[in-house]
Structure 1
Amino acid sequence: MDRQTRMYDNLDKLEQRTIEEILTIVYDALEERGYNAIDQLVGYILSGDPSYITSHNNARNIIGRIERDDLVEELIKSYLHK
């Protein structure tokens, strides 16, 4: 399998991830780098500024693949158990 094929396979897998999986990946990457993950995620959601998210483990790119309004919607649904 060549590099380009692997890249597309990785993109397909990324697009199949749920918002919960993406948040977990990003949260873990932020924690690994010593950040307060909750504060950083809130900053990102409110501002849209990707610099709140570390590039460690490709977290910035991963979270950038979902719309912030979809992220907020999913968080509210999860909080309210809907």
Structure 2
Amino acid sequence: MDRNTILFNSPDKGEQQTTEEILRTVYSALEEKGYNAIDQMVGYILSGDPSYITGHNNARNIIRHIERDDLVEELLRAFLKK
């Protein structure tokens, strides 16, 4: 019996956003809806509750592509570089 391996290519592999792009997208969506974007993003980072992030422009789903501990690490790294 001949068995072939099937290669699966994720459709959005070439379209993956950087952490910075994701944060900017989420920030813009929150501001467009009239929220204090920084407060809402801090609430999400501290609690893990996605309801802090608006569904506008798919922001809630987009931010979930980043693990929160990776997000904190990236933010600290960027802060300390400045």
Same fold (TM over 0.5): yes
Q: Which amino acid aligns with 1:49?
A: D
Aligned partners of 1:60, 1:43: CA distance in 2, in Å?
13
More helix by share: 1
Report the RMSD for the aligned CA atoms in angstroms: 1.3
Radius of gyration: which is bigger? 2
Aligned partners of 1:45, 1:56: CA distance in 2, in Å?
18
Identity, % of aligned pairs?
Answer: 72
Give TM-score, length-normalised by structure 1.
0.83
Once the two structures are superposed, residues 22-66 of structure 1 have per-residue CA deviations (whole angstroms, 9 ceiling, x without a partner) of 000000000000000000000000000000000000000000011
Could you say what secondary structure the match of 1:34 adopts? coil
Indicate yes or no: 2:59 matched with 1:62: no
Match of 1:47 in 2: 47
Unaligned runs of 5+ in 1: 1-7
Unaligned runs of 5+ in 2: 1-9
Give TM-score, length-normalised by structure 2.
0.83
Q: Which runs of 4+ in 1 moved over 2 A?
A: none
